[in-house]
Structure 1
């Protein structure tokens, strides 16, 4: 009934139409223009040769988007998004897409396969566990609507991302980013990002953020107290401000962000499956 193929030769407009229809009945419907989808493909590193569509006749009725790159020191794939249009759900399309994806990813030397899912999306979590995924981390998405207090003037500097040496931070601990915020992926489009940082006997704290909306993508510090003025400075420039995918094990960081007015907007699970065994 259905045929499956990679998305290499599928027009972006056709993919956008399928994606929008697939998410049309969600609590927060998604509606992306072709231009917005192109930006998503670019920033998420979507690889059309390892992404797939499901077709019924000439109509695209499902999709599975993947990005591939180094994550935790090994070749990994990340599921950027999966969806099936409402009238074709329950026919095994997602299962077929996962089966095809795993086969292709294994052939291309991928070791681990990651995805993220909202913690309240119990149906999707059950599907992913049935496919062999297990929870590896819990993330919080935080948002602050306005600055609180005043940033320390003259203490925080700003630099273009491609001029900032993330590989030599000395004692500055990088707070583990999610796949989509990993250094290798950000380096594919360095012109889209900027860094706010504090220098005290070397870089003592930094924050990588998106130029477009100020979204916080990476954090690093010697101590949370040194990171606080960096966040305050950024919040004074951009508000509302989102900090996406902060590992919930980072209690001190989460408490500092809460003190600055950040509130939890969503919680996600990161899930992983080994595909090299």
Structure 2
């Protein structure tokens, strides 16, 4: 049996994880099985519209796709792409994309979205050849809690920090200064709700800010404050309460729009500097 390409619909999670671990074993990046499962669930993994290359029955290259509405367009999102080391250099990723585009189109998908590290010039070159164009520039941030906690001390704020409701928080669309990326968009947060905590800032019973975060990873998925209540320490108060629930010793912000000065400025005021940058790339289908 030679190399074949087909969907991942019948592939077990055990085999998906084995291929994923092998593909990323020489990267400065790793996920255990539970973390991978959470990532796939939250990002809308669709095995019927995800595809892989198989050699003698073994998954050797893959594209995990999520599907859903994004900017009011039915979208496929590249949740994870990789090739096991011994099969690199064979252009398998390009072959998967080429194979899958017509099948995805037949299911009504009209755009493909992905994110790629800006220093990964090889991958960017491949994606551009496949017709992807840069949509936005994102920063990502991380800091040790031991460094960030002292910065989060607030002299005084009248608000109370209490558990809150996802729907109520996400309905405050006027508080967002940029449209969230796929993994932090409303649908992704709704899918991942079992692994998220939500805290609201209340002043005289009125919700004036919120933070949505994943305690296990330290990922801040969404942080927003009503515009009339900014520069009053509410953002810091929310983060201070959030990190007290962390099981991780690291605080992370992923996919912050580089052009959003209000958010990048707030993070800079906490002493956070970008650890890297990503492109959000889109291909119309």
Q: Same fold (TM over 0.5)?
A: yes
Uncovered stretches (5+) of structure 2, i.e. residues with no partner: 244-248
* In 2: Cα distance, 1:194 partner to 1:161 partner: 9
Number of residue pairs matched by the alignment: 272
* In 2: Cα distance, 1:60 partner to 1:149 partner: 46
Aligned-residue offset at 1:200: 5.1
Aligned-residue offset at 1:79: 0.1
Task: Please name the residue that 2:185 is paired with.
Answer: 182
Alpha carbons 1:71, 1:179 under 8 Å: kept: yes
Uncovered stretches (5+) of structure 1, i.e. residues with no partner: none
Cα separation, partners in 2 of 1:211 and 1:224, compared to 1, 3 Å = farther
* SS across alignment from 2:112: strand
Task: Please name the residue that 2:246 is paired with.
Answer: none
Task: Please name the residue that 2:253 is paired with.
Answer: 243
| One of 257, 264, 275 as aligned partner of 1:254 | 264
Task: Please name the residue that 2:82 is paired with.
Answer: 83
* In 2: Cα distance, 1:179 partner to 1:10 partner: 25
Task: Please name the residue that 2:11 is paired with.
Answer: 10
Cα separation, partners in 2 of 1:42 and 1:224, compared to 1, 3 Å = farther
Alpha carbons 1:156, 1:196 under 8 Å: kept: no
1:140 aligns with 2:139: yes
Cα separation, partners in 2 of 1:244 and 1:9, compared to 1, 3 Å = same
* In 2: Cα distance, 1:135 partner to 1:266 partner: 16
Alpha carbons 1:224, 1:253 under 8 Å: kept: no
Aligned-residue offset at 1:236: 2.3
* In 2: Cα distance, 1:228 partner to 1:132 partner: 45
Alpha carbons 1:181, 1:217 under 8 Å: kept: yes
Cα separation, partners in 2 of 1:109 and 1:189, compared to 1, 3 Å = same
* In 1: Cα distance, 2:37 partner to 2:278 partner: 24
Q: Write out aligned runs for 1:1-277 (5 A).
A: 1-26=2-27, 28-30=28-30, 32-145=31-144, 146-147=148-149, 148-151=151-154, 152-162=156-166, 164-167=168-171, 169=172, 171-173=174-176, 175-199=178-202, 202-223=206-227, 226=230, 229-237=233-241, 238=243, 240-275=250-285
Alpha carbons 1:158, 1:194 under 8 Å: kept: no
* SS across alignment from 1:39: helix
* In 2: Cα distance, 1:196 partner to 1:227 partner: 19
Aligned-residue offset at 1:234: 3.8
Alpha carbons 1:142, 1:263 under 8 Å: kept: yes
Instruction: Provide the TM-score with structure 2 as the length reference.
Output: 0.86
Superposed CA deviations along residues 199-255 of structure 1, whole A, max 9, x for unmatched, are: 458543332222433411123334396277343224324153111111001112111
Aligned-residue offset at 1:135: 0.5
Deviates more, 1:195-204 or 1:210-219: 195-204
Alpha carbons 1:159, 1:196 under 8 Å: kept: yes
* SS across alignment from 1:78: strand
